[in-house]
């Protein structure tokens, strides 16, 4: 188990990937799978 083992945290850091053992930062600006809200939705007729 070391840098070449993709199932360990050290292996993920070495390769630059993420997963269960190395989650992404939760304070990311635009997380994967989350669509940014659009302001056009809130239009109302008067």
How confident is the model at residue 40, as a pLDDT? Answer: 61
Q: What is the tens place of the pLDDT at every residue in 3-40?
A: 888 888 899 999 999 988 888 887 766 656 666 666 66
Read off φ and ψ for residue 13, nearest 5 degrees: -65, -45
Whole-model pTM: value is 0.47
Provide the b/e sequence for 8-41 (b: ≥16 CB within 10 Å). eeebbeeeeeeeeeeeeeeeeeeeeeeeeeeeee
């Amino acid at each position: 188990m070391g840098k070449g083992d993709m199932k360990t945290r050290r292996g993920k850091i070495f390769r630059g990937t993420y997963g269960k053992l190395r989650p992404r930062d939760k304070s990311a600006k635009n997380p994967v799978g989350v669509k940014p809200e659009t302001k056009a939705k809130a239009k109302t007729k008067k």
